[in-house]
């Protein structure tokens, strides 16, 4: 139906100039490209954890399908071609309302249907202990319920595809096995579980750790602790927030070294104030917060972080610099590695859906400048949001 298109640039993995030929939304060929093209070209970024962006918030009390459609457009503009709207701990009513809104948005908008494969529910089955719980409201933390999981899926047409939980609960293996049997990925996070409890969860099928190194108190036992156990467990792939605020550079580097690049994923964990101008904002959940130009969002007048505000592309740029200029590795942690949890997306390969991003690197500012975003073969253009 549509004309063949060709996108060119350098492959971040080896610097080779490539030309990707696209037809009917599918990659038909990856060939040698023009030598003089200095733009980078990779699979579109994949973000497994987005709460909001540009003022749109999937955790807002009044979230509706239009919120989700608007959010998708803003996220795609940052080079992300697949993302998981992430619902945090809340009442069952609020979680199912948000799931319904996302399901409706996928029906109404072709873009949302393409870029939102499923939803990540982070909580409410997490540690109630301060520090481990992070910013999740304590009143809604509860033990896992298969009945509730069933109601989430019923409300959304089976849209929950990833859950973050703490495996300290009695009988958690049964819950994990049940949801995995239904195609849901289980990630461990906001947890004060013992090494034995983490091991049991992994034996039951948990394969991810959510934003490792965050969702823990400032002070942990030197060892054992949840960070070491998850770093050492080779069956766990870890996600990390690379905004330069949530993990210091040496911590991020040491974690990637410990897990290996293949088991490392970058996420934004962006909140609604991401992409907004610096200033003081009043928020429904966090109260009065201050957003600084550096990308630090804190409770006003304190050192406490109130969420992450940088898009994944900036995390990729930062990780590349921290890892000694390894752009290919950083891109892999933002494309292919998360893609393994989203139906194998995130690779430039013949026969795959044509999700592409062209960008240049601005090392000094820890960011990438996005030149072109392609979702399922269609070029994204600002101001012309295709629905
Ligand atoms: Zn979290």
Residues in the chain with pLDDT < 70? Answer: 1-2, 284-285, 382-387
Q: What pLDDT is recorded for position 387?
A: 53
Q: How much distance in Å is there from the Cα of 336 to the middle of ligand 1?
A: 22
248-265 pLDDT per residue, tens: 999 999 999 999 999 999
Q: What pLDDT is recorded for position 363?
A: 79
Residue that the structure tokens 């959940």 belong to: 285
- Could you tell me the maximum CA-CA distance found in the chain, to the nearest angstrom? 60
Query: Which two structure tokens, joined as six digits, stand for 214?
Result: 């965050």
Q: How far apart are CA 202 and CA 188, in angstroms?
A: 9
Helical pair 327-334 and 312-322, crossing angle rounded to 10 deg: 140
Q: How far apart are CA 244 and CA 252, in angstroms?
A: 9
Q: How much distance in Å is there from the Cα of 122 to the middle of ligand 1?
A: 7
Q: What pLDDT is recorded for position 285?
A: 65
- Identify the H or E element spanning 68: helix 65-76
Give counts: helices (H), strands (E), the chain. Answer: 11, 21
180-196 pLDDT per residue, tens: 999 999 999 999 999 99
Inter-residue contact 318 to 244 (CB < 8 Å): yes
Q: How much distance in Å is there from the Cα of 215 to the middle of ligand 1?
A: 6
Q: How much distance in Å is there from the Cα of 72 to the middle of ligand 1?
A: 21
Q: How much distance in Å is there from the Cα of 32 to the middle of ligand 1?
A: 42
Q: What pLDDT is recorded for position 223?
A: 96
Q: What pLDDT is recorded for position 306?
A: 84
For the whole model, what pTM was predicted?
0.97
Number of C-beta neighbours around residue 172 at 10 A: 22
In 3D space, the residue among 322, 309, 350, 363 whose CA is nearest the CA of residue 43 turns out to be 350
Q: What pLDDT is recorded for position 362?
A: 87
Cis before 224? omega within 30:
yes
Q: How much distance in Å is there from the Cα of 33 to the middle of ligand 1?
A: 41
């Amino acid at each position: 139906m549509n004309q063949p298109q060709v996108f060119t640039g350098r492959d971040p993995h080896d610097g080779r100039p490539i030309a990707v030929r696209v037809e009917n939304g599918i990659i038909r060929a990856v060939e040698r490209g023009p030598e003089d093209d200095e733009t980078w070209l990779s699979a579109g970024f994949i973000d497994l954890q987005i709460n909001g962006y540009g003022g749109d918030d999937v955790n807002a009390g009044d979230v509706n399908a239009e919120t989700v459609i608007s959010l998708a457009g803003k996220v795609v503009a940052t080079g992300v071609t697949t993302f998981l709207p992430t619902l945090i701990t809340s009442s069952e009513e609020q979680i199912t309302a948000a799931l319904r809104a996302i399901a409706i948005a996928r029906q109404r908008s072709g873009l949302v249907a393409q870029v939102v494969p499923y939803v990540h529910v982070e909580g409410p089955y997490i540690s109630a202990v301060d520090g481990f719980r992070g910013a999740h409201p304590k009143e809604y933390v509860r033990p896992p319920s298969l009945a509730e999981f069933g109601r989430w899926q019923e409300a959304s047409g089976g849209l929950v595809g990833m859950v973050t939980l703490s495996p300290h609960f009695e009988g958690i293996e049964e819950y994990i096995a049940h949801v995995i049997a239904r195609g849901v990925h289980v990630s461990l996070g906001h947890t004060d579980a013992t090494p034995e409890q983490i091991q049991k969860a992994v034996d039951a099928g948990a394969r991810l750790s959510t934003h490792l190194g965050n969702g823990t108190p400032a002070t942990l036992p030197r060892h054992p602790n949840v960070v070491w156990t998850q770093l050492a467990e080779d069956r766990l792939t870890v996600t990390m927030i690379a905004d330069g605020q949530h993990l210091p550079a040496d911590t991020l580097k040491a974690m990637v070294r410990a897990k290996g690049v293949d088991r490392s994923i970058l996420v934004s964990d962006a909140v609604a104030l991401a992409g907004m101008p610096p200033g003081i904002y009043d928020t429904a959940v966090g109260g009065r917060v201050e957003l600084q130009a550096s990308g630090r969002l804190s409770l006003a007048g304190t050192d406490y972080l109130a969420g992450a505000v940088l898009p994944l592309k900036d995390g990729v740029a930062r990780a590349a610099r921290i890892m000694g200029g390894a752009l290919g590795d950083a891109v892999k942690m933002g494309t292919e590695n998360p893609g393994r949890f989203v139906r194998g997306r995130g690779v430039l390969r013949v026969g795959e859906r044509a999700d592409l991003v062209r960008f240049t690197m601005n090392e000094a500012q820890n960011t990438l400048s996005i030149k072109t975003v392609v979702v399922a073969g269609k070029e994204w253009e600002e101001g012309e949001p295709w629905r």
